[in-house]
Chain A
Amino acid sequence: MITTNNLTKMYGDFTALNNFTLTIGQGAIYCLLGANGAGKTTTINLLLNFISPTSGTASINGLDVVKNPIKTKAFLTYIPENLMLYSSLTAVENLDYFSGIAGKKLTVSSLKGFLEEAGLQTDAFDKRIGAFSKGMRQKVGIAIALAKDTKVLLLDEPTSGLDPKASNEFGLLLQKLKEKGVATLMATHDLFRAKEVATHIGIMKDGTLRQQFVANDISLSKLEKEYLNTMDYKELVL
């Protein structure tokens, strides 16, 4: 479970995130939409404790991320826009390392099982990551989440640059994790994918959460309209 309470981050006079309050329960996928600089990545960085909040709190599975930086990270997996892995290691070796440092001791066959579950082709398991496409690397990232038995997934623009097939496959993987009860926060520009995979959608602007929707209660066209209105792109609204 992800919880933020009046989470605020300021850089001098500039407010990157303003009183951000949110709860994402087990099996929920929350998509944060917003233009560049809206505060989406700042929110994720605060949840990862990469930066310290100016005020407010953030917690993962009930543990404050500032007070318990190591423990909270044991529950989560983070997949950035460009997931970079060790290029001279194979997919299995990368998965072994990252799951290993998270405290999991897994056999090669179970590692391969997680890669398979994440949708990676079998013949790529023992190939070095250097030759992998972005979509394949994202799948290894999901395999890390599966191997870690992650409770929280933080995704920062994970589908940007993916072709429609890869993006669709990624969406299916998120659904699979949702069924396992994983709480997911995904920052994205991709309205279509957000509508496809999310249980909840939020629109951010200038560090503030402006609107929230239950994904099933809003159509894609309505979502697009609300988004453009929030962004003050009224001339683009059809």
Chain B
Amino acid sequence: MTTRTFIKESKEMMRDGRIRIAFIIVILLLGAAVWISMRQYQNVNARYEAAKAAEREVWDNQGKKNPHSAAHYGTYAFKPKYPLSLVDQGVDKYTGTSIFLEAHNRNEAQFSAAADQTGLARFGDLTPDFVLLFMIPLLIILLGYNSFTKEREMGTLTLLKSQGISYWKWIWGKWTALFLPILLITSVLFLVASIVLSNLQDFGVFKWESLFALFAIYIVYYIIISNLVLLISAKAKKSGISLVISLCVWIIACLAAPKVASNFAEDRYPFPTRQEFAASVLKDKKAGLDGHNPWSKESKLLEKKVLEEYGVDSLHQLPFNFDGYRMQKGEEHEAEIYLKHYNHLKDQYIQQSKVYRNLAFLSPYLPTRFLSMAVAQTDYATHWDFADAAEDYRIATQKFLNNNFAQNSEYGNWSYQADAAFYKQLPNFEYDPPELNVILNRNSSNLMVMGVWLLGSFGLLFFIPKNL
């Protein structure tokens, strides 16, 4: 009976002109979105490679120079575009693509794609994740809103009931007929994505298991949406009512719930404004050692401590250049300040994420969105990881430069210049994004919420409509 109902429903769908048109529209949108994303991905990564190489060349060829001048001269950490951003671009557009690494300051990522766009960008981009998260659920609604109500309206339900149908098998047949076309579309999209990705330079971070995980996340999302749409159709008296309720659920789940969750989280755990943040950092920095100011109280205390430690009377008697040493200690103090303030930001972000996760029970869209961005490595957590790695690299770079200054010159000798070859010894910035198992562990609550949605929606679908 399940197979026969599946075949019957599929024939009815294929013969419905509206559904054929909707299918064509969604497939065209998906094709266009993948093509646009692929072009964007190729362009961004080509620019990334070029910028990375050019910046390293500039660093390597800066010539003889005082190491602290080189520290102020700075360099850049570039954020690569990860292969799965082809499917979900997440928050990449807003988080910036490069971080300027210099002495004394931790800078935020800059040159975001959003900043380069005009006001028209407010209308949004056509991306695969837009089609996957918003358009395909709409297609599910279009395919399934009248799945049960049409039986009532056409009068076929009476005939079916008189045939002694098994409700479970009947519902299962309808469910299969609704879900299989969606599975087909999604599979085609991911197949195309896998072909495209396997032909692109992958920067060593593309993992097939991540693509499969992403596919599985969307499939679970569509199963939940299909269950909800069929449940509404089974309980509604008329197709029109079923359609309106389904669309309302879509609006609440996909449009309203994320904004409510975002506003609620922001309200409960607000981020400081940029000015407040800068003022707090400056205040704390001033309260500690400034590597450039040998006359401050903190510098004098450091001087006294070092002289005592080495048992000498003068800074000139030290086996290293105290200016370089103080510069490094100043960096370490500033790094601590930045760590403290960025950890506060991170705590706020973690708290906001917890609020999001708790509100994920409101809508299956929320856990899907978080998981999708996380697996695609385009979420804020990945950006934080990248920013932290860049900061670690900045601190290590400052140490590398200050140590050279301290070890190879005498106190007061600001005219010291390190060899041009020295700068080439600085290791490249390498960043490995978190592995899939780490990502899934971080998102265990989102996985759990999706599991609850999946089981709950199946339970409701198969137990509630028994009295059709």
Listed in ascending order, the chain A residues whose CB lies under 8 Å from chain B are 48, 50, 69-74, 76-78, 80, 82-89, 93, 96-98, 100-102, 154
A122 to B290, CA, bound (A): 98
Instruction: Decide yes or no: A93 and B1 within 8 Å by CB, A72-B164, A84-B159, A86-B156 being known contacts.
Output: no
Q: Which residue of B lies closest to A154 (CB)?
A: B162
Q: A72-B164, A89-B8 are in contact. List 18 more A-B contacts (CB 8 A).
A: A69-B164, A71-B164, A73-B164, A77-B162, A78-B159, A80-B155, A84-B154, A84-B159, A85-B156, A86-B12, A86-B154, A87-B154, A88-B11, A88-B15, A101-B1, A101-B165, A102-B164, A154-B162
Q: Residue-by-residue, is B1-45 near A (CB-CB < 8 Å gives 1, otherwise 0)?
A: 100110110011001100000000000000000000000000000
Query: Does B259 reach chain A (CB closer than 8 Å)?
Result: no
Judging by beta carbons under 8 Å apart, are B11 and A93 in contact? yes
A97 to B1, CA, bound (A): 9
Interface SS of chain B: helix, strand, loop or mixed?
Answer: helix
Judging by beta carbons under 8 Å apart, are B163 and A102 in contact? yes
Query: Does B301 reach chain A (CB closer than 8 Å)?
Result: no
A97 to B174, CA, bound (A): 13
Query: Does B161 reach chain A (CB closer than 8 Å)?
Result: yes
Query: Does B166 reach chain A (CB closer than 8 Å)?
Result: yes
Q: Residue-by-residue, is B379-397 near A (CB-CB < 8 Å gives 1, otherwise 0)?
A: 0000000000000000000
Query: Does B158 reach chain A (CB closer than 8 Å)?
Result: yes
Residues of B within 8 A of A93 (CB): 8, 11
Residues of B within 8 A of A78 (CB): 158-159, 162
Judging by beta carbons under 8 Å apart, are A97 and B8 in contact? yes
Query: Does B287 reach chain A (CB closer than 8 Å)?
Result: no
A108 to B12, CA, bound (A): 19
Listed in ascending order, the chain B residues whose CB lies under 8 Å from chain A are 1, 4-5, 7-8, 11-12, 15-16, 154-156, 158-166, 170
Q: Which of B4, B154, B155, B161 contacts A48 (CB 8 A)?
A: B161
Instruction: Decide yes or no: A48 and B12 within 8 Å by CB, A82-B155, A86-B154 being known contacts.
Output: no
A86 to B15, CA, bound (A): 12
Residues of A within 8 A of B15 (CB): 88
Q: Which residue of B lies closest to A44 (CB)?
A: B162
A97 to B12, CA, bound (A): 12
Judging by beta carbons under 8 Å apart, are B166 and A70 in contact? yes
Judging by beta carbons under 8 Å apart, are B159 and A80 in contact? yes
Interface SS of chain A: helix, strand, loop or mixed?
Answer: mixed
Residues of A within 8 A of B170 (CB): 101
Residues of B within 8 A of A80 (CB): 155, 158-159
Judging by beta carbons under 8 Å apart, are A48 and B162 in contact? yes
18 inter-chain pairs at a CB distance below 8 angstroms, sorted by A residue, are: A48-B161, A50-B162, A70-B166, A72-B164, A76-B162, A77-B162, A78-B159, A78-B162, A85-B159, A86-B12, A86-B156, A93-B8, A97-B4, A97-B8, A101-B1, A101-B160, A101-B163, A102-B164
Q: Which residue of A lies closest to B150 (CB)?
A: A86
Residues of B within 8 A of A50 (CB): 158, 161-162
Q: Which residue of B lies closest to A87 (CB)?
A: B154
Residues of A within 8 A of B166 (CB): 70
Q: Which residue of B lies closest to A128 (CB)?
A: B15
Residues of B within 8 A of A82 (CB): 155
Judging by beta carbons under 8 Å apart, are A84 and B156 in contact? yes
Q: Which residue of B lies closest to A74 (CB)?
A: B164
Q: Which of A76, A87, A100, A154 contacts B1 (CB 8 A)?
A: A100
**Distance in Å: Cβ of B161 to nearest Cβ of chain A:** 7
Residues of B within 8 A of A100 (CB): 1, 4
Instruction: Decide yes or no: A89 and B1 within 8 Å by CB, A77-B162, A98-B163, A101-B165 being known contacts.
Output: no
Residues of B within 8 A of A101 (CB): 1, 4-5, 160, 163, 165, 170
A84 to B154, CA, bound (A): 6
**Distance in Å: Cβ of B410 to nearest Cβ of chain A:** 93
Q: Which of B12, B156, B158, B163 contacts A73 (CB 8 A)?
A: B163
Residues of B within 8 A of A86 (CB): 8, 12, 154, 156
Q: Which residue of B lies closest to A81 (CB)?
A: B155
**Distance in Å: Cβ of B293 to nearest Cβ of chain A:** 84
Residues of A within 8 A of B16 (CB): 88
Q: Which 9 residue pairs spanning A and B have beta carbons closest together?
A: A73-B164, A84-B155, A78-B162, A100-B4, A70-B164, A88-B15, A97-B8, A101-B1, A84-B154
Residues of A within 8 A of B165 (CB): 101
Residues of B within 8 A of A76 (CB): 162
Residues of A within 8 A of B161 (CB): 48, 50
Judging by beta carbons under 8 Å apart, are B12 and A88 in contact? yes
Q: Which residue of A lies closest to B165 (CB)?
A: A101
Residues of B within 8 A of A83 (CB): 155, 159
**Distance in Å: Cβ of A61 to nearest Cβ of chain B:** 13
**Distance in Å: Cβ of A118 to nearest Cβ of chain B:** 15
A82 to B154, CA, bound (A): 10
Judging by beta carbons under 8 Å apart, are B162 and A73 in contact? yes
Q: Which residue of A lies closest to B1 (CB)?
A: A101
A54 to B394, CA, bound (A): 84
**Distance in Å: Cβ of B169 to nearest Cβ of chain A:** 9
Residues of B within 8 A of A89 (CB): 8, 11-12
Judging by beta carbons under 8 Å apart, are B159 and A98 in contact? yes
**Distance in Å: Cβ of B194 to nearest Cβ of chain A:** 36
**Distance in Å: Cβ of A40 to nearest Cβ of chain B:** 16
A86 to B159, CA, bound (A): 11
Q: Which residue of A lies closest to B13 (CB)?
A: A88
**Distance in Å: Cβ of B3 to nearest Cβ of chain A:** 9
Residues of A within 8 A of B5 (CB): 97, 101
A77 to B159, CA, bound (A): 9
A161 to B170, CA, bound (A): 32
**Distance in Å: Cβ of A96 to nearest Cβ of chain B:** 8
Q: Which residue of B lies closest to A83 (CB)?
A: B159
A222 to B234, CA, bound (A): 49
A83 to B156, CA, bound (A): 8
**Distance in Å: Cβ of B433 to nearest Cβ of chain A:** 50
A11 to B19, CA, bound (A): 43
**Distance in Å: Cβ of B387 to nearest Cβ of chain A:** 57
Residues of B within 8 A of A87 (CB): 154
**Distance in Å: Cβ of B174 to nearest Cβ of chain A:** 13
**Distance in Å: Cβ of B360 to nearest Cβ of chain A:** 39
A87 to B151, CA, bound (A): 11
Q: Which residue of A lies closest to B162 (CB)?
A: A78
